[in-house]
Chains A and B, each alone.
Chain A
Amino acid sequence: MLDLRRRSLVRRLVLIAGIWTLLVVLIAGVFLTAQFRDAAIRRFDQSLAVLTDDLYAGSSVDNGQLRAPFLTDIRATRVYSGRYWVILDKQPDGAMKPIERSRSLFDSDLMLSSAQIDQLEAAPGKTQYFDLRGPQDKPLRAAAVQARLPGYPDPVVFLAAEDRSPIDADADRFARITAFALLILGGGLILAVVVQVRFGLQPLFRLRREVALVRRGKAERVDGAYPEELSPLAGELNALLAHNQEVVERQRTHVGNLAHALKTPLSVMLTEASQQPGQLAEVVTRQAQTMREQVDHHLRRARAAARSQTSGERTPVEPILDELAVTLERIFQDKANGAGVEIDWRCPEDLCFQGEKQDLMELAGNVMENAGKWCRGRIRVDAVPVGEARMTLTVDDDGPGLPPEERAQALKRGQRLDENAPGSGLGLSIVDELARAYGGSVQLGEAPLGGLRVTLDLPRAVS
């Protein structure tokens, strides 16, 4: 889980910003609350110190008896009002004996711990501050000073105390408000970071989508403008794509050259063998035939391998049908006692095939040639757009046609072309293989003209 290299960039950035924001907010909260509490207590302590000072200054000794001053502090006269004072006599044995106390204390006492007594002893004349437990076990804040009074034998401690719960409540309320405000601030910051990161990384997501398009063959290269940090990457990607395509193209040319170079020697061998009948000639003929089929098979495979790289092309259908019709009528001009073949073709001018020109030529050429072989003189070709992004190419002839059981056979050969020796008499297996490579299909049926109807389902390029 903590392998950050694999985490999403967005999550990584938000996580870092989140941790940082949380830390800052936490520290700020603690610091602010502490400051507020300190300030409140300091003010509180000052008012207590005034009281101890008054007690100290106003006390007098009369015949060895200590008298407390008359104080006008009303709050110190109401019982358990929360504001108290006491004057203690520190006896030689260390015990603290209250001499005078405020009326608010009624019958209870304020007790100092031994540590607090030691603290007072260590700094006579200096006001010290403590936390105490008072009547009804309320938390008190106390100020005390130890001093000597002329004419009084023992050191005297003047102690004033007040209920501290109001300042604690204030401090708590401040802490709550601060925490709430900081929480909103922190949440807002993290939200801003999320938005910023998502927006900031938009071009990266766009790049990803474009690369996906290239991989699926819907685009040839990464287009579009990118920020200066990303445009070198897009450039490198395009260079890589171009390089890849170049390598594939080169391989394809090599395979093609090799395959074609083998054909002339094969021709020579076949001819030579046919002219000198015998066992050797039979073997040579059979083997040369196999070699020829292998060569054709691998030529097609080389093309198929190259195709997966570049199927983003769009090929207008009309000129291809025109060229093929002219060529095929020329090829079959001796048919039907020299009357030739008449190819009637129809195609919308703007119809485009999604794929390479050469492949459309192979598809349509082979189907139309097959029709030319079997027809009695008439071929009808119709290319029509279908649905959103498909097209069909229908080729009818007026020949004998194929019975349904043989139709299935003609296409089955195509399916098993990979394992089996390639090349079938109909040429339709090649068409089937090629159509499948384009995610299309071939269907055989009966033509209105009487012969075979071949229907190709193919991808259509939409503008």
Chain B
Amino acid sequence: MRILLVEDDPDLTRQLKLALADAGYAVDHAPDGEEAQYLGENEPYDAVILDLGLPKVDGVSVLERWRRGNVTTPVLILTARGAWSDKVAGFDAGADDYLAKPFHTEELLARLRALLRRSAGHAAPSLSCGALRLDPRAARASVNGEPLRLTSLEYRLLHYMMMHQGRVIGRTELVEHLYDQDFDRDSNTIEVFIGRLRKKLGADRIETVRGLGYRLAALPGEENA
């Protein structure tokens, strides 16, 4: 397993390099944002450990550039800023996990293992509907390559509708597939989630068929991505 470590503090770098090597990883090191961006784009790493406070280019910008350039390597963010607004910003930029300083090396290694295990999951065919694309392996969806931020319930609803795209799906059917158990089946629930999906996908993709249910379809003139 090959890991890219992006960290500007020499002592922390030495410690992490040692710990990662002990755990059996091959480690490359980038001390600033520019080098990190170059290495991440050109070398096939299995995971990246990315500090956010970096010289030249900051960590969030590096991550955003990778994700825009279709670098899908799992990224674990290391940062001194542990506020929720910082965490949310990190995940929005495309991070897969987040660890606030100061941390224990053991925890970092555990998180890294989990990250690698997830990304090594079985490949499953991705689904598409027009410019909408859903990747069951990473549990991610995107429109025109732009990642969508979906909660698991929203994702589950979209997944079901994409598997049955073009067909009118009744409310009861949707509720049954949204929740495992008999739980909160008030009639409003589906409307709430359809509303949120429309907000995130664009209003035209989900059509309301009166009295019957909903239908997901590609926009007119759209090719499957």
Which chain A residues have a beta carbon within 8 Å of chain B's beta carbons?
260-261, 263-272, 274-275, 288, 292, 296, 322-327, 329-331, 333-334, 338, 340-346, 357-358, 361-362, 364-366, 380
Residues of B within 8 A of A364 (CB): 84
| 10 A–B contacts from the bound complex (CB under 8 Å) | A260-B53, A263-B101, A288-B102, A324-B84, A326-B91, A327-B87, A330-B96, A333-B139, A362-B85, A365-B88
Instruction: Tell me if B105 and A274 are in contact (CB < 8 A).
Output: yes
Residues of B within 8 A of A343 (CB): 151-153
Interface residues of B in 151-178 (CB under 8 A from A): 151-153
Instruction: Tell me if B151 and A264 are in contact (CB < 8 A).
Output: no
Residues of B within 8 A of A340 (CB): 152
Residues of B within 8 A of A323 (CB): 88, 92, 149
The answer, among A261, A267, A275, A334, for a CB contact under 8 Å with B12, is A267
Instruction: Tell me if A365 and B151 are in contact (CB < 8 A).
Output: no
Instruction: Tell me if A345 and B151 are in contact (CB < 8 A).
Output: yes
The answer, among A261, A333, A365, for a CB contact under 8 Å with B84, is A365
- Shortest CB distance A292–B (Å): 6
Q: A271-B15, A275-B15, A323-B88 are in contact. List 15 more A-B contacts (CB 8 A).
A: A264-B101, A264-B102, A265-B9, A267-B12, A267-B101, A268-B9, A271-B105, A274-B105, A322-B149, A325-B151, A329-B151, A357-B85, A358-B84, A358-B85, A365-B88
Is B81 in contact with chain A by the CB < 8 A criterion?
A: yes
Residues of A within 8 A of B153 (CB): 342-344
- Shortest CB distance B206–A (Å): 18
Complex A-B, nearest 9 residue pairs according to Cβ-Cβ distance, in ascending order: A365-B84, A267-B102, A263-B80, A260-B80, A263-B101, A361-B84, A266-B102, A268-B11, A325-B151
Instruction: Tell me if A362 and B101 are in contact (CB < 8 A).
Output: no
Instruction: Tell me if A261 and B15 are in contact (CB < 8 A).
Output: no
Interface residues of B in 4-40 (CB under 8 A from A): 9, 11-12, 15-16, 18-19
Complex: chain A residue closest to B14, CB-CB: A268
Instruction: Tell me if A268 and B98 are in contact (CB < 8 A).
Output: no
Complex: chain B residue closest to A268, CB-CB: B11
A168 to B11, CA, bound (A): 113
Interface residues of B in 185-222 (CB under 8 A from A): 192, 196
Most buried by A among B15, B16, B97, B196: B15
Instruction: Tell me if B102 and A358 are in contact (CB < 8 A).
Output: no
Is B223 in contact with chain A by the CB < 8 A criterion?
A: no
Is B150 in contact with chain A by the CB < 8 A criterion?
A: yes
Instruction: Tell me if B83 and A358 are in contact (CB < 8 A).
Output: yes
Give the bracket for the number of chain B residues in contact with chain A.
35 or more
How many inter-chain residue pairs (CB < 8 Å) link A and B?
103
Instruction: Tell me if A324 and B101 are in contact (CB < 8 A).
Output: no
Residues of B within 8 A of A269 (CB): 102
Instruction: Tell me if A270 and B152 are in contact (CB < 8 A).
Output: no
Is B104 in contact with chain A by the CB < 8 A criterion?
A: yes
Given contacts A288-B102, A342-B153, A343-B151, contact A260 B118 (CB under 8 A): no
Interface residues of B in 89-144 (CB under 8 A from A): 91-92, 96-98, 100-105, 114, 118, 139
Residues of A within 8 A of B9 (CB): 264-265, 268
- Shortest CB distance B144–A (Å): 19
Which chain B residues have a beta carbon within 8 Å of chain A's beta carbons?
9, 11-12, 15-16, 18-19, 53, 80-85, 87-88, 91-92, 96-98, 100-105, 114, 118, 139, 149-153, 184, 192, 196
Complex: chain A residue closest to B91, CB-CB: A327
Given contacts A331-B98, A346-B192, contact A264 B88 (CB under 8 A): no
Instruction: Tell me if B101 and A333 are in contact (CB < 8 A).
Output: no
A334 to B74, CA, bound (A): 14
Given contacts A264-B12, A267-B103, A331-B97, contact A326 B81 (CB under 8 A): no
A404 to B82, CA, bound (A): 30
Instruction: Tell me if A270 and B104 are in contact (CB < 8 A).
Output: yes
Instruction: Tell me if A274 and B152 are in contact (CB < 8 A).
Output: no
A139 to B183, CA, bound (A): 113
Complex: chain A residue closest to B52, CB-CB: A260
Given contacts A261-B80, A330-B91, contact A266 B101 (CB under 8 A): yes
Instruction: Tell me if B87 and A268 are in contact (CB < 8 A).
Output: no
A301 to B15, CA, bound (A): 32
Complex: chain B residue closest to A344, CB-CB: B153
- Shortest CB distance B187–A (Å): 14
Complex: chain A residue closest to B105, CB-CB: A271
- Shortest CB distance A72–B (Å): 117
Instruction: Tell me if B84 and A362 are in contact (CB < 8 A).
Output: yes
A331 to B102, CA, bound (A): 18
The answer, among A326, A333, A361, for a CB contact under 8 Å with B83, is A361
Complex: chain B residue closest to A269, CB-CB: B102
Given contacts A267-B103, A361-B85, contact A334 B114 (CB under 8 A): yes
Most buried by A among B18, B105, B152, B196: B152
Residues of B within 8 A of A362 (CB): 83-85
Instruction: Tell me if A342 and B87 are in contact (CB < 8 A).
Output: no
- Shortest CB distance A197–B (Å): 51
A325 to B153, CA, bound (A): 10
Residues of B within 8 A of A271 (CB): 12, 15-16, 19, 104-105
Residues of A within 8 A of B15 (CB): 268, 271-272, 275
Complex: chain A residue closest to B10, CB-CB: A268
- Shortest CB distance A227–B (Å): 43
Complex: chain B residue closest to A356, CB-CB: B85
The answer, among A292, A326, A333, A357, for a CB contact under 8 Å with B150, is A326
A340 to B153, CA, bound (A): 12
The answer, among B80, B105, B151, for a CB contact under 8 Å with A326, is B151
Given contacts A263-B101, A334-B118, contact A326 B87 (CB under 8 A): no
A133 to B15, CA, bound (A): 127
- Shortest CB distance B182–A (Å): 13
Instruction: Tell me if B152 and A292 are in contact (CB < 8 A).
Output: no
